[in-house]
C-alpha cells in the first residue's frame, strides 16, 4: 500500500485535538482506505451499506446508542461516518452529540457537498474543520521507480489509486467516469437530464487548463450557457473540477477576468477526451503537465493547511502567467512548461507581470533536469525540485 502524506496525518491529528472535521474528496481517491489505516480503532459507520443507511434513515437517534456502546467497549472517542452526504439530516444528530459530549470527535467523509448545500444542511456551525483529499501526489510516489522514470505514464494514467498502477488504465478510467455519472450525478439527482450532463462532461474536458467560455461549451454540449454555468458548479461541488480565478490587480496592462478550469486528475481528462496516450512534445502534453502541477499544489495547500491565494494572470495584450501564489504578504509568479528547454519567449509573461506586481520569486517549472537562475532573476526549476521545495515548505 502506498503511504499517504505524513503532513496530512500530522495536521489531521492536530485538528482532531480541537474539533471534528469534514473530509471530502472525489470517489476512489482512497479516503476510506486511508482513514481505516490511520485510525483503526475508530467507530466506522459506512452509509454506502444499505442496512446501515436504512437503519439511520429510520432512526437517526441510533447513532447515539451505537456511540455509547462503542465508548464502553473501547473507551474510544473517534467516530468516522463515511459518505455523509447520503444522509444530510444525520448532521443534526452529530451536532447535538458534539454539544453534549465535548470529548467526541467526528470525521465526516463524502464525495460531494452539493446535496448538503442544496438542502441547507447543518454544517456544524463552525465546529468542524474542512480537509480536501486528492489523488496520489508526488511526495507519496517519489520512491516509486515507475513514477521517477516515467512522467508520461503519470500524466496519462493520472493519480487515482485504482488506475495509477493498472496496465489497462484507460479501461479503468472509462469505468470511473461511468461510475461518477451514475452514482454521483444520476442516483443523487443532481441534474434532470443525465444525457445532457454527459455531453457537457466531455465538452468540459476540452476546456481543461483553458479560460471558460460558457457559450462555446454550451454549443458543443447542446445546452444553454446558464445550464453550463450550473453544471460547472456541480463539478466543483462533486470535487472533480475547480475554477482558478483571474488576477486582476495589474494597472499597466489590463487583465482578463475570466476564470480557468481544471479537472482534478489528468487520467480522467484523457478518458473524457478518449485519448489512450498523449506524447511529450505536444500541446496536449503541456496542458496535462500544467494540470498536474496545479493539482499537486492544491493537494499540498489542503494537507499543509496553507491559506494561500491561487490565481492566474492574462492581459488583454496576451501576456500570461500560469499561476500566482499569494501568502498575503508575498507573491510568487509561476510559468509551467511541459518541455525540457526554455526560451526567452517563455519568460515574457513573468517579466510583464513584474512591471505591476512586486514579486518574491519568478519561477519556470519545466521537465528539464537543471536548476538555474537567469540574469533577469527567473528561476528554472525541474518539476521534481519544485515539488521538493513545495512539500518541504521552502517556497516562501
* Residue where a domain stops, chosen among 132, 148, 169: 132
Residue 315 β-bridge partners = 255
Q: What backbone phi and psi angles, to 5 degrees, belong to 167?
A: -75, -30
Same domain, 151 and 117: no
Same domain, 91 and 213: no
195 assigned to some structural domain: yes
Strands 372-373 and 210-211: unpaired
* Tally of domains within the chain: 2
* Residue where a domain stops, chosen among 114, 132, 150: 132
1 assigned to some structural domain: no
- Could you tell me if 78 and 42 are in contact, meaning their C-beta atoms sit under 8 angstroms apart? yes
Query: Considering the entire predicted model, what is its pTM?
Result: 0.94
* Tens-digit pLDDT string for the chain (396 aa): 788 999 999 999 999 999 999 999 999 999 999 999 999 999 999 999 999 999 999 999 999 999 999 999 999 999 999 999 999 889 999 999 999 999 999 999 999 888 777 655 556 766 789 999 999 998 898 876 566 568 998 999 999 998 887 878 999 999 999 999 999 999 888 899 999 999 999 999 999 999 999 999 999 999 999 999 999 999 999 999 999 999 999 989 999 999 999 999 999 999 999 999 999 999 999 999 999 999 999 999 999 999 999 999 999 999 999 999 999 889 999 999 999 999 999 999 999 999 999 999 999 999 999 999 999 999 999 999 999 999 999 999
Same domain, 160 and 80: no
Same domain, 95 and 158: no
- In the numeric block, which cell numbers belong to residue 263? 479537472
d(CA 127, CA 144): 38
Same domain, 121 and 211: no
Same domain, 29 and 145: no
- Could you tell me if 273 and 294 are in contact, meaning their C-beta atoms sit under 8 angstroms apart? no
- Domain, as residue range, for 365: 138-391
- In the numeric block, which cell numbers belong to residue 358? 512586486
340 assigned to some structural domain: yes
pLDDT at 148: 55
Q: How far is CA 97 from CA 89, 121, 296, in A?
A: 14, 16, 36
d(CA 271, CA 392): 33
* Residue where a domain stops, chosen among 132, 157, 175: 132
396 assigned to some structural domain: no
Same domain, 159 and 275: yes
Same domain, 197 and 342: yes
Indicate which CATH number applies to the domain containing 20: 3.40.50.300
Same domain, 106 and 148: no
pLDDT at 165: 77
Same domain, 106 and 167: no
pLDDT at 143: 72
- In the numeric block, which cell numbers belong to residue 291? 494540470
Amino acid at each position: 500500500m502506498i503511504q499517504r502524506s505524513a503532513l496530512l496525518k500530522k495536521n489531521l491529528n492536530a485538528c482532531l485535538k480541537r474539533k471534528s472535521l469534514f473530509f471530502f474528496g472525489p470517489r476512489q481517491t482512497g479516503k476510506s482506505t486511508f482513514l481505516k489505516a490511520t485510525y483503526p480503532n475508530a467507530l466506522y459507520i459506512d452509509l454506502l451499506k444499505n442496512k446501515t443507511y436504512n437503519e439511520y434513515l429510520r432512526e437517526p437517534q441510533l447513532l447515539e446508542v451505537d456511540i455509547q456502546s462503542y465508548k464502553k467497549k473501547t473507551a474510544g472517542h473517534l467516530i468516522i461516518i463515511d459518505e455523509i452526504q447520503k444522509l444530510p439530516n444525520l448532521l443534526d444528530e452529530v451536532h447535538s452529540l458534539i454539544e453534549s459530549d465535548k470529548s467526541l470527535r467526528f470525521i465526516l467523509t463524502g464525495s460531494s457537498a452539493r446535496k448538503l448545500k442544496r438542502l441547507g444542511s447543518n454544517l456544524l456551525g463552525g465546529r468542524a474543520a474542512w480537509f480536501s483529499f486528492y489523488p496520489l501526489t508526488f511526495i507519496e510516489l517519489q520512491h516509486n521507480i515507475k513514477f521517477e522514470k516515467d512522467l508520461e505514464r503519470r500524466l496519462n494514467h493520472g493519480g487515482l489509486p485504482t488506475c495509477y498502477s493498472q496496465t489497462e488504465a484507460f479501461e479503468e478510467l472509462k469505468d470511473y467516469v461511468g461510475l461518477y455519472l451514475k452514482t454521483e450525478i444520476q442516483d443523487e439527482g443532481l441534474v434532470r437530464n443525465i444525457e445532457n450532463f454527459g455531453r457537457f462532461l466531455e465538452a468540459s474536458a476540452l476546456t481543461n487548463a483553458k479560460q471558460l467560455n460558457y457559450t462555446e461549451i454550451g454549443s458543443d454540449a447542446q445546452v444553454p450557457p446558464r445550464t453550463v454555468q450550473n453544471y460547472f458548479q456541480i463539478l466543483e461541488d462533486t470535487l472533480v473540477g475547480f475554477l482558478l480565478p483571474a488576477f486582476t490587480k495589474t494597472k499597466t496592462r489590463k487583465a482578463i477576468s475570466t476564470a480557468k478550469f481544471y479537472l482534478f486528475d489528468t487520467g480522467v481528462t484523457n478518458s473524457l477526451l478518449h485519448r489512450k496516450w498523449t506524447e511529450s512534445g505536444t500541446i496536449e502534453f503541456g496542458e496535462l503537465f500544467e494540470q498536474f502541477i496545479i493539482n499537486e499544489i492544491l493537494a499540498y495547500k489542503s494537507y499543509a493547511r496553507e491559506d494561500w491565494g491561487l490565481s492566474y494572470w492574462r492581459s488583454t495584450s496576451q501576456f500570461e502567467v500560469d499561476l500566482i501564489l499569494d501568502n498575503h504578504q508575498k507573491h510568487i509568479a509561476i510559468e509551467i512548461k511541459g518541455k525540457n528547454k526554455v526560451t526567452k519567449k517563455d519568460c515574457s509573461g513573468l517579466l510583464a507581470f513584474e512591471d505591476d506586481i512586486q514579486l518574491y520569486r519568478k519561477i519556470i517549472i519545466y521537465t528539464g533536469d537543471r536548476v538555474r537562475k537567469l540574469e533577469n532573476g527567473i528561476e528554472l526549476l525541474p518539476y521534481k525540485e519544485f515539488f521538493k521545495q513545495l512539500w518541504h515548505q521552502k517556497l516562501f
